[in-house]
Amino acid sequence: MTHRFFKSITFKLIVLVSIVLVALISASLLFNSQIDRLKKQIDNIYFGNFIPIVKLRIITDNYKDIISCRTMKYVCDFKKEQNAILQEWDYYNKSYKNEKERIVADSINEQILDSFKSNKLYKFKNILKQIDFLIEYETQVAFKQRKSFVDDYKKMKDFLFYNIVLILIFAFAIIAYIIYQLVKKDNQLRVLNTKYKIDSITDSMTKLYNRKYFDTIFDNMPFISNANNWECAFIMIDIDFFKQYNDTYGHDMGDETLKKVASLLKEYFNKKYEFVFRLGGEEFGVILFDIDKDILESCLKDINKKVTELNIEHSGSSVLNVVSISMGAIIYKPNTYISANRLYKTADECLYKSKQNGRNQYHISKGN
Do residue 253 and residue 166 come from a single domain? Answer: no
Q: What contacts 24+ positions apart, CB below 8 Å, involve 333-338? A: 333/225, 333/231, 333/366, 333/367, 333/368, 334/225, 334/226, 334/228, 334/229, 334/230, 334/231, 335/226, 336/367, 336/368, 337/222, 337/226, 338/222, 338/367, 338/368
pLDDT tier for residue 1 given thresholds of 50, 70 and 90: very low
Is 194 domain-assigned? no
Cβ proximity of 323 and 223 under 8 Å:
no
Decide: residue 257, CB within 10 A, 0-12 exposed, 13-18 middle, 19+ buried. buried
Last residue of a domain, one of 158, 178, 198: 178
* Residues near 211 by beta carbon (within 8 Å), at least 6 away in sequence: 277, 278, 279, 280
Is 78 domain-assigned? yes
Do residue 165 and residue 233 come from a single domain? Answer: no
User: Sheet of 232-239: strands edge to edge?
Assistant: 274-280, 283-288, 232-239, 325-332, 362-365
Do residue 161 and residue 241 come from a single domain? Answer: no
Do residue 233 and residue 322 come from a single domain? Answer: yes
Q: What is the pLDDT of residue 2?
A: 45
* Residues near 358 by beta carbon (within 8 Å), at least 6 away in sequence: 319
Q: What is the pLDDT of residue 229?
A: 93
C-alpha separations of 67 from 59, 109, 111 in Å: 12, 19, 16
The CA-based diameter of the chain, rounded to the nearest angstrom, is 155
Is 186 domain-assigned? no
Do residue 16 and residue 76 come from a single domain? Answer: yes
Q: What is the pLDDT of residue 237?
A: 97
Selected residue with higher pLDDT from 172 and 304: 304
Is 204 domain-assigned? no
Do residue 61 and residue 165 come from a single domain? Answer: yes
State the residue range of the domain holding 156.
2-178
Do residue 151 and residue 273 come from a single domain? Answer: no
Domain count within the chain: 2
Whole-angstrom Cα distance, residue 363 to residue 358?
Answer: 12
Do residue 30 and residue 171 come from a single domain? Answer: yes
Do residue 156 and residue 218 come from a single domain? Answer: no
Q: Tell me, what amino acid is at 131?
A: I
Q: At what angle do helices 2-45 and 121-201 cross, to 10 degrees?
A: 170
Q: What is the pLDDT of residue 280?
A: 92
Task: Identify the CATH number of the domain in which residue 260 sits.
Answer: 3.30.70.270
DSSP class of residue 210 equals -
Give the three-class secondary structure for 321.
coil
Do residue 101 and residue 249 come from a single domain? Answer: no
Cβ proximity of 282 and 237 under 8 Å:
no
* Residues near 38 by beta carbon (within 8 Å), at least 6 away in sequence: 153, 156
- 105: number of Cβ within 10 Å: 17
pTM of the model: 0.55
Mean pLDDT confidence for 206-230 = 92
Do residue 109 and residue 227 come from a single domain? Answer: no
pLDDT in tens, 69-123: 777 766 677 778 878 878 888 887 787 777 777 787 888 888 888 877 877 878 8
Is 137 domain-assigned? yes
pLDDT tier for residue 333 given thresholds of 50, 70 and 90: very high
Is 15 domain-assigned? yes
Give the three-class secondary structure for 333.
coil
Is 105 domain-assigned? yes
Q: What is the pLDDT of residue 83?
A: 84
Strand partners, 322: 313
Is 202 domain-assigned? no
